[in-house]
Amino acid sequence: MESTTMTEDTIKRRARGLDRAFDILDFLKEKGTPLRPNEIASGIGSPKSTVYELVSSLLERRILETVGKDGHVYLGRQLYFLGQA
């Protein structure tokens, strides 16, 4: 029984993370300009640590890309390619 609860908690946590990742993408699209992760966190009302983790994952997958040396991120070209699939 406890194993089932952990599985349900894991599913809920992952779904929440996925929702936040989409919130990040939507917010960047809405703003239309590269932003720092802390600006994104403030804009979507999520903890900075969570946003930094998600941004890092999205950068690894090239869903987001960086510009300059100050940590600004923007929607990456990979989104275009995924949209063409």
Q: Dump pLDDT digits (tens) for 48-85.
A: 999 999 999 999 999 999 998 999 999 999 999 999 98
Q: Residue 77: helix, strand or coil by DSSP?
A: helix
Using alpha carbons, list the distances in angstroms from residue 2 to 5, 8, 11. 5, 10, 14
DSSP string, 12-55: HHHHHHHHHHHHHHHHHHHH-S-B-HHHHHHHHT--HHHHHHHH
- Residue pLDDT, tens place only, 8-48: 888 888 888 899 999 999 999 999 999 999 999 999 999 99
Distance CA 3, CA 18 (A): 23
* Boundaries of every domain in the chain: 2-84
Amino acid 1: pLDDT: 47
Entry pTM: 0.85
pLDDT at 85: 84
CATH class assigned to 2-84? mainly alpha
CB 52 within 8 A of CB 37: yes
